[in-house]
Amino acid sequence: MKGVEERGAKFIADVDMLLTESMDRVVANPQTLWKACKEDFVRIAKNKVKKSYHKLNSYVQAIERDLQRSLANPDLNMNENTQMNAAFLINELEYLEKVKAKNQRDKMWVNLAIHGECLGGQWSALCKERKPRNLILRLKIPNSNPTQYERCTKRMAKLARNHHEGIQNDNTNQSPEEQMRAIDEALRAIPESQLLPEPKHSALNWKATEDHI
C-alpha cells in the first residue's frame, strides 16, 4: 500500500503539472497518465505477491518434507513424541493450505474486477470442474496386530483395490432372500427426514426406456 500511495501521489502531481503548464494533449494527458499509473499499480502488487507466494510455498514444501520423515519413522506407532510432532505438522500444513486457498480466492476476485463484464477468460474459468485432491497419507493394513500402516503409494493402491474387490465378492454367496433382507435393513436405517415423500412417484422410480438410452 505504501508503494501504491507513493505512485498515486506522483500521478496527482503529474496531473497538476499538466493543468499549470498547459501541455499538448498529444504529448501527455490525464488519460495516458492514469493508464500508466494503473499499470504501475499492477506491477507493484504482482512483485509483492510474488515474493510472499514463493516464501509460503517454500515453507509448505519444508513442512511436507518433515512430515514425510515423521510418517516414515518406524517408531511412529510407539513413540508419542513422534506422533505429536506429526500431528503438529499436519495441523500446520492444513492451516497453510487454507491460507493458499484464501490467496487464490483473492486473486480470482481481482482478476474478475480487472476483466470486467467481458465474456470468456476468468468467467469461463469459474465454470470449470474442480476435482478433489484430498491426499491419503497412509492406509491401515488389515488384520495387523499391533496395528500397522502402509505408506507406499503402489501398495496403498493395492490395499484399496483388494478391499473393494472383497466387498463385492462377500455378497456373491448370498441367496436372493438374504440380499433383499440386507437391502430392507439398510433402507430402514435411513432417517425419516431423509426419505422421499412419495417414492413411487419420484423420477428415481421411473423405468429407463429404449428412447431414454
Tell me what percent of the residues of the chain surpass a pLDDT of 90. 13
- My answer on whether 3 and 58 are in the same domain is yes
Expressed in angstroms, the distance from the first to the final Cα of the chain is 59
Q: Which domain holds residue 31?
A: 1-118
Looking at the structure of the chain, the number of domains it has is: 2
Residue 173: inside a domain: yes
Whether the pTM exceeds 0.75: the reply is no
Residue 106: inside a domain: yes
- Within 8 A by CB and 6+ apart from 71, the residues are 86, 137, 138, 151
Residue 32: inside a domain: yes
Question: Predicted confidence band at 120 (pLDDT cuts at 50, 70, 90)?
Answer: low
Q: For Cα atoms 42, 98, 104, give the angle at the middle one, nearest 5 degrees.
A: 25
Which amino acid belongs to residue 70? S
- My answer on whether 55 and 2 are in the same domain is yes
pLDDT in tens, 65-110: 888 888 877 777 777 888 888 888 888 888 888 888 888 888 878 7
